[in-house]
Amino acid sequence: MLFYVLKRIIYICCILVVMSMLVFAITQILPGNVARMILGQFATEESIRAIEEKLRLNDPLVVQYWRWASSLLSGDLGESLIMEHPIAPLLSTALKRSAILAFMSFFFVTVVGIGLGVVAALKQNRPTDHAVSIFTYLGISVPEFFWGIVVIIFLARYIDWLPSSGYEPLSAGFWNWLSHLILPVATLTFALIAHVSRLTRSCMLETLRSPYVTAARAKGLPERVVLVRHALRNALLPTITILAVDLGWLFGGVVVVETVFAFPGLGRLLMFSIERHDLPLMQVSLLLITAVYSLSNLVADLLYTYFNPKIRYERSAD
């Protein structure tokens, strides 16, 4: 098991290195004249030369990459072009805020998603089941930014104690902090519940039909014990896979939801850097988001392997 974990960690490190090359190649090599891309089409010759000086864009590409990669590794994340401010503190604040969003959403997706799935399984084919089905189906039929918009329109209009944008740190008061999180978290959660609850529902249905559940009931165990300790435990295994996929997906969805709710997290920072052509910030943000995504996929993979002893070798590419 330990060997497997080590192998996966090494694999992830390789992926990160290649990823950094890819990010660098696409953002700094592909556009051709990087200075012109940063400054826009109406830049003067002078300002182009100034930027080229500053970013040392005339060095051979490999040298540029090496310089960038080695300074990243030594902890120097560079400086934002637009804000003229070191990137590292910007990133760490943004990352913390996005992490709060992501983890809260993940928590609710797990709890509510599994809960709804179980309820739907228990009341199979009755109105409750169909209601849950439709409710979750809506969540995946429309892009999450639209749900954010809908939520803002209806909730913020009629319930004005829920702010629809921005962020307050904990130091400004617990409710203040929480109220800014509620809408973005709700939007993210709604978008992801469908898969989790559908899978939980079908797994529960299968498990409930199995011999050992019948045996448990025949033993005279209270229904609750049968459900939780026997049925649910076994039904949850495939759900972990989906949750793993969702965790990764959250990091993509976070970009859009943060834009809708003007939430100052990593996604918003990334969009800012793209809109303003802030190359250093863009590169590091992209790399960071992707690294976090890979790491969370790794954690999910490892958790799944831990819970399912049948799978101890590499994921089959199927």
Partner 1 sequence: MSRRGVPLNLIAGGAIVAVIVTAAIIGPIIAPYPYDEFHANARFQPPNPPYWFGTDEFGRDIFSRVLTGTRLSLFIGVLATAISLVLGIPLGLVAGYYRGRIDEMIMRTMDLFMSFPPIILGLLILAVTPPSIWKTSGAVGLVYVPIMVRLIRSVTLDLMEEEFILAARARGERTIYILASEILPNAWPPIIVEGSLRITFAILLGAALSFLGMGAQPPSSDWGLMISAARPYLLIAPWIALAPGLAMCIAVIGINLVGDGLREILDPRLRHRWRA
Indicate whether 272 belongs to the interface with partner 1 (CB under 8 A): no
Cα end-to-end span (Å), the chain: 22
* Residue 290 interacting with partner 1 (CB under 8 A): yes
The one among 77, 196, 256, 300 contacting partner 1 by CB under 8 A: 256
What is the SS3 assignment for 313? coil
Residue 293 in contact with partner 1, rule: CB under 8 A? yes
Does residue 318 bind partner 1 (CB under 8 A)?
Answer: yes
Q: How far apart, in whole angstroms, are the C-alpha atoms of residue 316 and residue 182?
A: 39
* Cα–Cα distance for residue pair 120/210, rounded to 1 Å: 18
Q: Is 248 in the site for partner 1 (CB under 8 A)?
A: yes
How far is residue 272's CA from residue 204's CA, in Å, rounded to a whole number?
44
Using CB under 8 A as the binding rule, whether residue 157 contacts partner 1 is answered as yes
From 55-63, 65-73, 91-99, 253-261, span contacting partner 1 (CB under 8 A): 253-261
Per CB under 8 A, which region of 79-87, 148-156, 168-176, 235-243 contacts partner 1?
148-156
Tell which positions 91-130 bind partner 1, by CB under 8 A. none
Of 4, 5, 26, 75, whose CA–CA distance to 286 is shortest? Answer: 26
Name the burial class of residue 58, with classes exposed (0-12), middle (13-18) and buried (19+) by CB atoms within 10 angstroms of its CB.
Answer: exposed
How far is residue 25's CA from residue 90's CA, in Å, rounded to a whole number? 24
**Interface ranges with partner 1 (CB under 8 A):** 15, 18-19, 22-23, 26-27, 30-31, 37, 137-138, 141-143, 145-146, 149-150, 152-153, 156-157, 248-249, 251-253, 255-256, 259-260, 270-271, 274-275, 282, 286, 289-290, 293-294, 297, 317-318
